[in-house]
Amino acid sequence: MRLRALLDTESLGLRLLGGEDELDRTVRGVMTTDLRDPSRYLSGGELVLSGLAWRREPEDSENFVRILATAGVAGLAAGTAELGPVPEDLIAACARHRLPLFSVAESVSFATVTEYVVRQVSGERAGDLAAVVDRHRRLMTSGPAGGGPEVVLDLLGSDLDLRAWVLSPTGRRIAGAAPGGGAGPADGTAAGARLAGEHLAAARSGRRSPHRVLLGNTTYSLFPIRSGGRDLRETVLSDWLLAVEADAGDWPAERLDLLHGVTQLIAVERDRRDAARTVRRRLAQEVLELVQTGAPPAEIAARLRVAAPVLLPGLGTAPHWQVVVARVE
């Protein structure tokens, strides 16, 4: 697939900011990252999606773009939902390195772009995959918060009659409705902890997923939800997992492909939440530093007014702040 095809797809909400002469580049994959140096996770040909949380000063743009260009990525798509318009220094850096640069409309989630690229690069999918992913895309574009993991699991249940749960590394249930009957990870912590433990052991041994686990008379298939393309050794204790109440041992390749696609969608949603949390923490830290250094109240108030929509999204009215400073002696 060529970059030009992405630009011609109106539903993706991409706007070209530079690199028109490079639109015939081939896209071989997609990666979402806000790392300052994602080079170890790039193999070339990726469309890189970024919320720009790595940028703290204009000079950061040159370093980030140089890393992408050296890795041979196809292009960079910058989100505008959290930090606003794409900065001029990033546009200039991409021009210097001949890296195509797109902005992603605020109304379009990274999950939508990821899903489209994955489907196009992977070729034709089975009918159930197309139905589930397409419905999920429509749901995610209907609101700024996306559908979250619950939407994906609901679609698996309604379209494919598969009961599934998203679990933390300790087995805590993150998403997935409690089943109507029978033992399962939604019924208590013991089952979830057992599944998480089996998944951790399988991942450490290097076995390929999905991992099959028998609890009582029920077989579960465990799929890792990898985040941000990082090395497994760095994320095995923090990555979520998808537990499906079914034996994937006899599934056709199309069905396995479906579940791996679902884990990608959930991973993108988690990355989006993590990126938003990173921005909020940075803004909060800046406010605290102003307070700690004795900045004038007017400056602190101005910074709070700017930060309020990000720190307290959806509030609608200007909040009243009470700053408390404690000292431990």
Predicted confidence at residue 227, as pLDDT, reads 65
Strand 46-50 to 29-32 pairing: parallel
How confident is the model at residue 126, as a pLDDT? Answer: 47
For range 64-73, the mean pLDDT: 95
150 compared with 47, residue with greater pLDDT: 47
List b or e across 214-243, with b for residues whose CB sees 16 or more CB atoms inside 10 angstroms: ebeeeebbbbbbbbbbbeeeebeeebbbbb
Average pLDDT over residues 182-201: 75
Q: For the chain, what is the mean pLDDT?
A: 80
Mean of pLDDT values over 8-29? 90
Q: Is 208 exposed, middle or buried (0-12, 13-18, 19+ CB in 10 A)?
A: exposed
Q: What domains can be seen in the chain, in order of their start residue?
A: 3-111 (3.40.1390.20), 126-264 (3.30.450)
Residue 80 to residue 205: CA distance in whole angstroms: 40
Output the pLDDT for position 38.
92
Average pLDDT over residues 316-321: 63
Q: For residues 19 and 47, what is the distance between their CA atoms, to the nearest angstrom?
A: 14
Query: Could you tell me the sign of the dihedral formed by the alpha carbons of 300, 301, 303, 307, in that order?
Result: positive
How far apart, in whole angstroms, are the C-alpha atoms of residue 82 and residue 61? Answer: 17
Query: Is the pLDDT at 132 greater than 60, yes or no?
Result: no
Residue 158 has pLDDT above 90, yes or no: no
**H-assigned helices in the chain:** 3-7, 59-71, 88-96, 110-122, 127-140, 148-160, 189-205, 232-235, 253-292, 297-311
pTM of this prediction? 0.48
pLDDT bracket for residue 144 (50, 70, 90): very low
- Host H or E run for residue 242: strand 240-244
Q: How many Cβ atoms from other residues are within 10 Å of residue 64's Cβ?
A: 25
Select the more confidently predicted residue: 64 or 327: 64
Angle between helices 253-292 and 110-122 (to 10 degrees): 150
pLDDT above 90 (res 18): yes
Mean pLDDT in residue range 266-274: 77
pLDDT single digits (tens) 195-237 = 989 888 888 787 788 888 988 888 999 998 876 555 555 566 7
